[in-house]
Amino acid sequence: MEYFLTNYDRIAMATVRHGQICVIALGFALLLGVPLGILAAKIRSLGVFILGAVSVIYTIPTLALFGLMIPLLGIGLIPALVAITLYSLLPIVQNTYTGIVTVRPAAIEAAVGMGMGSMQRLVSVELPLALLVIVAGIRTATVGAVGMATLASLIGAGGLGDLVFRGISTVSLNVVLAGSIPVILMAVLADLAMKSGEKRLAVRLLGEDAH
């Protein structure tokens, strides 16, 4: 506790940096992952390739993925964002794909009967019905990104990993805890917030369906 109080500014700056890395990487992952999931659901032959590609990326060990970024993009924030974005794609793409392909055929037939085109069906029917599944994928990606961002400090991106690895190298438990505890709290709070959002969304959707 004494270390936390005397080094509050440093820990706070590292926490903010860590959060920035996660938010930016997840933003890019959403911008890429949701369209890729939609594309995979709509063009099944292409879907095999897309799902296979993001699955292969996800199987690469985290440290190895960061290592691959160094000869390609150097060190710093950019390679860390690219690595975390790529690693976050699988749950978002997979859940978007699953959510769309499991939409009830009756709902699609009703939309066709109302004269909706394919894009209108996607926006007005399929995506809203798939939203809960997509949000579950985003929650998984969010928690994973918080943990992976800790390793981003190894390639000079900063964040709470700086404290964790500095503490390990100097055999200082205080410094390790100063980095580890905020990461754990960030992951737990992010998970709880996403779960709460899922519940509110489920109630809203069920309420709309009831009407």
Answer yes or no: is 211 within a domain: no
Residue 105 counted as domain residue = yes
71 is a domain residue? yes
Q: What is the pLDDT of residues 10-25, one digit of tens each?
A: 889 999 999 999 999 9
* CA 199 vs CA 42, 171, 187, 193, 204: distances in Å: 28, 43, 18, 10, 9
Q: Which of 60, 62, 47 is nearest to 93 (CA)?
A: 47
Domain that residue 184 falls in:
2-206
Give the pLDDT score at 154. 87
Residue 170 domain flag? yes
Global pTM?
A: 0.87
**Number of domains observed in the structure of the chain:** 1
pLDDT in tens, 147-179: 999 998 888 888 888 889 988 888 888 888 988
- Average pLDDT of span 98-121: 81
End-to-end Cα separation, the chain, in angstroms? 53
**155 in a domain, yes or no?**
yes
State the CATH number of the domain containing residue 26: 1.10.3720.10
- 148, 85 in Cβ contact below 8 A? no
104 assigned to some structural domain:
yes
The answer as to whether 131 is a domain residue is yes
Question: Token pair for residue 88?
Answer: 């976050």
Residue 124, in any domain of the structure: yes
Count the Cβ atoms, other than its own, within 10 Å of residue 5: 8
User: What is the average pLDDT score of the chain?
Assistant: 87
